Structure 1
Amino acid sequence: MIQKTREKFIALFGKEPLIVVSPGRINLIGEHTDYNDGFVLPAAIDKKIVYAVALNDTRQCNAHAVFTNETVSFSLEDVKPTPGWINYLMGVVDQLQRGGYEVKGFDCVINGDIPVGAGMSSSAAVEGGLVAALDHIFHYGMDRMQMALLGQRAEHTFPGVKCGIMDQFANLHGKKDQVMRLDCRSLDFEYFPFNFPEYKIVLCNSMVHHSLASSEYNVRRQQCEEGVKAIQAMHPEVKSLRDATMQQLDEVRDQLSAKIYDRCAYVISEIQRVQDATELLKKGDLQQFGQLMYATHEGLSKQYEVSCPELDFLVTLAKERPEVAGARVMGGGFGGCTINLVKQEEVASYQSYIQSRYKEEFGITPDVYVTTIEDGVTVN
Structure 2
Amino acid sequence: MISTAIAEFRKRFNREPLIVSSPGRINLIGEHTDYNEGFVLPAAIDKRIIYAIALNGTDTCNAHALFSGETASFALENIVPGGDWINYLKGVVFHLQQKGYEVKGFDCVITGDIPIGAGMSSSAAVEGGLAVGLSHLLGFNISRMEMARIGQLAEHTFPGVKCGIMDQFANLHGKKDSVMLLDCRSLEYQYFPFRFSEEVKVVLVNSMVHHSLASSEYNVRREQCEEGVKLLRAVYPGINSLRDVTSAQVQQQQHLLPAKVYDRCLYVTQENERVEKACAHLQRNELKAAGALMFASHQGLSKLYEVSCPELDFLAELASQRPEVAGARMMGGGFGGCTINLVETGKVEDFCNFVQEQFRQRYGVVPEIYITSIEDGAKVELATEAVA
Whether TM-score is above 0.5 comes out as yes
Give aligned pairs, total. Answer: 380
Q: Distance in 2 between matches of 1:160 and 1:143?
A: 24
| C-alpha displacement of 1:238 | 1.1
Q: Which residue of 2 aligns with 1:171?
A: 171
Q: Which residue of 2 aligns with 1:95?
A: 95
The 5 Å alignment of 1:148-297 reads 148-196=148-196, 197-297=198-298
The one-letter code sitting in structure 2 at the alignment partner of 1:169 is F
Q: Which residue of 2 aligns with 1:21?
A: 21
**Are residues 1:35 and 2:35 paired?**
yes
The one-letter code sitting in structure 1 at the alignment partner of 2:190 is E
Cα deviation digits, residues 173-218 of structure 1 (max 9, x gap): 0000000000000000000010111100000000000000000000
Q: Distance in 1 between matches of 2:331 and 2:235?
A: 34
Any idea what SS the aligned residue of 1:234 has? coil
Any idea what SS the aligned residue of 1:212 has? coil
Q: Distance in 2 between matches of 1:42 and 1:246?
A: 22
Any idea what SS the aligned residue of 2:4 has? helix
Q: Which residue of 1 aligns with 2:6?
A: 6
Q: Distance in 1 between matches of 2:219 and 2:171?
A: 22
| C-alpha displacement of 1:252 | 2.8
Q: Distance in 2 between matches of 1:249 and 1:242?
A: 11
Any idea what SS the aligned residue of 2:233 has? helix
Aligned 8 A contact 2:17 2:54 in 1: yes
Q: Which residue of 2 aligns with 1:125?
A: 125
TM-score by length of 1: 0.99
Q: Which residue of 2 aligns with 1:140?
A: 140
Q: Distance in 1 between matches of 2:290 and 2:99?
A: 41
Any idea what SS the aligned residue of 1:322 has? coil
Q: Which residue of 2 aligns with 1:312?
A: 313
Question: Structure 1 stretches of 5 or more lacking a match?
Answer: none
Q: Distance in 2 between matches of 1:301 and 1:59?
A: 47
RMSD: 0.8
The one-letter code sitting in structure 1 at the alignment partner of 2:300 is G
Identity, % of aligned pairs? 64
The one-letter code sitting in structure 2 at the alignment partner of 1:95 is H
The one-letter code sitting in structure 2 at the alignment partner of 1:317 is L
Cα deviation digits, residues 4-52 of structure 1 (max 9, x gap): 1111101110111110000000000000000000000000000000001
Aligned 8 A contact 1:231 1:248 in 2: no
Q: Which residue of 1 aligns with 2:379?
A: 378
Question: Structure 2 stretches of 5 or more lacking a match?
Answer: 383-388
Aligned 8 A contact 2:181 2:191 in 1: yes
Q: Distance in 2 between matches of 1:263 and 1:72?
A: 39
Relative to structure 1, is the Cα distance of residues 251 and 198 closer, same or farther in structure 2, using a 3 angstrom cutoff?
Answer: closer
Q: Which residue of 1 aligns with 2:301?
A: 300
Q: Distance in 1 between matches of 2:115 and 2:170?
A: 17
Q: Distance in 1 between matches of 2:316 and 2:73?
A: 43
The one-letter code sitting in structure 2 at the alignment partner of 1:91 is G
| C-alpha displacement of 1:251 | 3.7
Q: Distance in 2 between matches of 1:143 and 1:240?
A: 27
| C-alpha displacement of 1:78 | 3.5
| C-alpha displacement of 1:246 | 2.6
The one-letter code sitting in structure 2 at the alignment partner of 1:262 is D
Cα deviation digits, residues 115-139 of structure 1 (max 9, x gap): 0000000000000000110011111
Any idea what SS the aligned residue of 1:163 has? coil
